[in-house]
Chains A and B, each alone.
Chain A
Amino acid sequence: MAQGLRRSRTHLAWNDQVTGFLQATVYGLLQGGLLALVAVGFSLVWGVMNVVNLSHGAFVVLGAYVGWQLNISLGLDPFLGMVIVALVLFCIGYAVQRFLINLVVNGPIFITLLLTFGLELLLVQGMNIVFTANYQSIPTSYAGNAIVLGGIQVPLGRLLAFLLAVGITVLLVKVMANTRIGMSIMATGMDRGAARLMGIRARHVYALTFGIATALAGMAGTMVGTVGTFNPAAAGGFTLLSFVIAVLGGLGNMYGAMVGGLLMGLVQAWGGYYLSGTWVNALAFLVLVIVLMFRPSGLVGKAFYAARVEV
């Protein structure tokens, strides 16, 4: 009798452990998808233009605010509102690149770092003034709910964000490989001089790339605002996260951010579940170091992008 009870307790503990592991894995993957969406634009700009955009996180937060504003003033659902967010952020991104970053795009990397850092400060402070430092969230009736599959909770908002991230990444790959614009972007990224000789207007292509990146950042921001909270101070964290994910996944491959994001999400979820939650950031960077030791160009990156010479 006592033995039977012990066995059933062990069985229960084992069941709990399996459920716990699966729950951590599912949540980690979903969180990873969201992280990938945050980072994909950063990776694109770095890969194509060789600009490490330190203002990327500020565009993510700006997207969240635009989505929030559309929700509270027009009642637009964030998943619908994000189309408008993408358009607004695309226009802002296009203009910022064309009239600001383009001025120094040929300069040393420190100049572009400095400029984008300054831009980040301006945007964050601007948002502080316009929207205040209050924490905000885009309310929906469904995002916090979950579908239960065999004892595993799958949060609806995060699932939608994940599917969107995968969809956008696949779409981006298709656009880059099969459209004239995509091929112009890839060509300019590979060799700006040669692309110019082929009649590609590098300035326009760069602005287009930056616009696409900020549009994606804006969409990611709207998602973050729907499943979590945001305020202007969150911008720096998003930039750092994007940096790590871009390096982890590798440049020059549109799937890089997705692979990096998913790995990051899983490492954080598993690390938090099996070790102390305070280790998650250290673990994420440990994984980054290990990956770079064996694959210096990132998990799916192309070595060419690190060594190219631009004219």
Chain B
Amino acid sequence: MKTSRILATATIAAVSVALTGCGSKGEAGGDAGASSGTLTIGASISLTGKTAREGVLTQEGYQLCQEKVNAKGGVKVGDKMLKLDIKYQDDTSKPDTAASLVDQFNDQGIKLILGSYGSANTEAQAAVIERNNQVMVDSSGADNNIFAKGYKRTFGVLSPATEYAASIVKAVAELASPKPTSVVVLSADDGFSKRAADGAAKAAKDLGFTVLETQYFPNGATDVSASLNKVKASNPDVIIGSVHLAEGVAIIKQAKELGVVPKVFGETVAPPTPDFVTTLGKDAEGVLGSSQWTKSAAGSDDYFGTAKQYDADIQAKFKHEAGYHNAEASAACLAFVLAIQKAGSTDANKVRDALAALDAPSFFAQLKFDAVGMNSSKPMSVIQIQGGKQVTVWPKASAEAALIWPGTTK
């Protein structure tokens, strides 16, 4: 009895594995995802789990893109106008789920994919995309590692991870007076944050700062007191957090508790997220952040207009200021639309080639990919929280206000 039950379970398991395996290799037709006047793009999104907040902002960016494109009649493919239809699936912020959802889209014949939120998810998806001959435009996976594996079918619209924290160091070196002398990086231990931390340490060294040893803590940590306690005695002028929102907020809160007061705090992903100011209140004042995009970005396109118009549209639709998470998602979707129109086809291979050759202006930045698929020529901006608002302070050409220095008060 027991043996037969085990046998039955094993058989079911084996059959399921076999079916899944077959499914994931499913070869759908050339014009996959396009049927009866609609163009379907698949998007696995982190709607729940630890990066749900950022996931929702990403989805908003995709939704606005769909609305804007369809308002102009849709995507022009040859002599047909196809309505854009983005299909969402929740990947619960987990890389393995994000990867298997890409497989599921492939089984449904959907070859064109918009990326999930974050480098870990995107990296897991990129491997599956390559295997299935799908094409992905990555909206938020900035880890250089994603593009170092020789993949040919993943294109990222954003600046690479190494530029995130390095841009803050460059801004401080250029704008702060008197110039600070020492920098320490506190970093989460995920791939993206580590890459950004390395970039910051290298930039600081190149610019002549005394660079203290980087301190790491677990990704998603809400207690970073040990790292702050360690650097307190050295009294660094600049503390850079290579972090996500949760760790970024913890650094500011716990530094206050522990009496750690540098001349300025700078953090990668956290300050441009709307929740940073709402959770920290006046403690957020003066903090620097690196941003893929700001409202003062130059450039425009036919769908979104300028960066300022984009912000107004996000405010009208979602009742909050546009953040760079919104903008990079919309830009990824826009890159897809432009490439499909240029290819005159929804065939994955043709769209891939069109993406590789894309060189188009947009509200976000010039959309142009290098040989590995990164938008490496795109500059980053540095913002500072001033009066509860994000204000661009660097590069000088697009600055909305002068840097307030020092960014903290004793």
Residues of chain A whose beta carbon lies under 8 Å from any beta carbon of chain B: 16, 19-20, 23-24, 27, 31, 124-125, 128, 132-137, 139, 144-146, 148, 153, 155, 157-158, 227-229, 231-234, 237, 268-269, 271-273, 276-278, 280-281
Contacts and interface: CB of A to CB of B under 8 A. Distances in A.
B326 to A, nearest CB: 14
Interface stretch (B23-31, B157-165, B255-263, B358-366): B255-263
A271 B283 CA distance: 28
A139 B249 CA distance: 13
B258 A144 contact: no
17 contacts: A31-B225, A134-B274, A135-B53, A227-B253, A228-B223, A229-B246, A231-B53, A232-B48, A233-B50, A268-B223, A272-B225, A272-B230, A276-B215, A276-B216, A278-B218, A280-B218, A280-B221
B400 to A, nearest CB: 25
Contacts of B53: 132-135, 231
B279 A24 contact: no
Contacts of A132: 53, 56
Given A146-B259, A231-B52, A280-B217, A135 B226 contact: no
B67 interface: no
A229 B229 contact: no
A125 B52 CA distance: 11
Given A153-B257, A278-B216, A278-B218, A133 B52 contact: yes
Nearest to B188: A278
Nearest to A135: B275
Interface in B238-257: 245-246, 249-250, 253, 256-257
B257 A268 contact: no
Question: Which DSSP category, helix, strand, loop or mixed, fits chain A's interface?
Answer: helix
Contacts of B3: none
A27 B258 contact: yes
B152 interface: no
B49 interface: yes
B10 interface: no
Interface in B12-52: 47-50, 52
A158 B257 contact: yes
A124 B52 CA distance: 12
B218 A281 contact: yes
B4 to A, nearest CB: 22
Given A125-B48, A153-B258, A229 B226 contact: no
A281 B188 CA distance: 14
A272 B225 CA distance: 8
Contacts of B250: 228-229
Nearest to B50: A233
Contacts of A145: 256
Contacts of B227: 272, 277
A135 B233 contact: no
Contacts of B259: 146, 148, 153
Interface string B200-231: 00000000000000011110111111110110
- Residue with the greatest number of chain A CB neighbours at <10 A, chosen from B52, B189, B249: B52
Interface of B: 47-50, 52-53, 55-56, 93, 189, 215-218, 220-227, 229-230, 232-233, 245-246, 249-250, 253, 256-259, 274-275, 278-281, 283
Contacts of A139: 281
Nearest to A19: B233
A278 B258 contact: no
Contacts of A281: 218
A20 B258 CA distance: 11
The 10 closest A-B pairs by CB, nearest first: A272-B226, A133-B52, A155-B257, A277-B217, A16-B233, A137-B279, A135-B275, A278-B189, A153-B259, A144-B256
B230 A23 contact: no
A271 B226 contact: yes
B249 A229 contact: yes
Contact of B52 (A128, A148, A153, A228): A128
A134 B279 CA distance: 9
Contacts of B274: 134
Contacts of A268: 223, 226
A273 B19 CA distance: 50
A12 to B, nearest CB: 9
A133 B223 contact: no
A27 B223 CA distance: 10
A269 B48 contact: no
Given A146-B259, A278-B216, A278-B218, A137 B280 contact: yes
Contact of A134 (B93, B257, B258, B275): B275
A222 to B, nearest CB: 15
A133 B233 contact: no
Contacts of A231: 52-53
A157 B230 CA distance: 22
B240 to A, nearest CB: 15
Contact of A144 (B47, B230, B257): B257
A20 B189 contact: no
Contacts of B218: 277-278, 280-281
- Residue with the greatest number of chain A CB neighbours at <10 A, chosen from B226, B229, B246, B280: B226
A278 B221 CA distance: 10
Nearest to B255: A144
A134 B258 CA distance: 26
Nearest to A227: B253
Contacts of B55: 133
Given A146-B256, A272-B226, 14 more contacts: A20-B230, A27-B258, A128-B48, A128-B52, A133-B53, A135-B278, A137-B279, A146-B258, A229-B253, A233-B52, A268-B223, A272-B227, A277-B216, A278-B217
